[in-house]
Amino acid sequence: MAIVGKKAPYFSCTAVEGGGDFIENFSLEQFIGKKNVIFFFYPLDFTFVCPTEILAFQDRLADFEARETAVVGCSVDSHQSHWAWLNTPKDQGGIQGVTYPIVSDLSKTISMNYGVLAGDYDMDEEGNWTFDGVAQSYRGLFLIDKEGVVRHQLVNDFPLGRSIDEALRLVDALRFHEEHGDVCPANWEEGKDTMKETHESVANYLSKN
């Protein structure tokens, strides 16, 4: 389900921030008009690929903040599970030291609304609700601008970790486009040539590259 170009689905739920503080009624609305948001989903706490990504985002958190971009994680675990994992040392499989918010999507409605839940609810012949698939989130990542509009989305299967450098590159591309109006071609990085949206501009770019 593509939601690029649309308002990011609204939610309000409990998050854990700063390694232990519970925040009730946490919402991305707090960033409207102030910051872009990298909002990413991961399958489960206390797993294997997930801590490598979560800690990698923490390692580059200052780079996102310098770009006026907040980082927010989310999984279908409870806020108590998040708290326990955030207070488990790294050498014991934990993510101690992570300071950005991690949202609890225990109801799985956030994952459903963002199109990253690895399954669907259904009703059997007796009228009982069942779940077909895996009740976890794929590795979804969404870049949401200061107006609350989704400008980029990426969804990986469970075994495939994401690139934090690529997430930063996309934040840079969005900022450059918003400030200058230029569009950013393939493999664009800060300092490289961009293009105006004209055929002449494309021809000039291709002739130089």
CA neighbor of 102 nearest in space, from 145, 55, 65, 143: 55
Options 13, 50, 74, 184, the catalytic residue: 50
Which single residue is written with the structure tokens 């948001």? 37
184 is catalytic: no
Q: Which residues contact 6 (CB under 8 A, 6 or more apart)?
A: 149, 150
Burial of residue 88 (CB within 10 Å: 0-12, 13-18, 19+) is middle
CB 51, CB 59: distance < 8 Å: no
Catalytic sites, residue numbers: 50
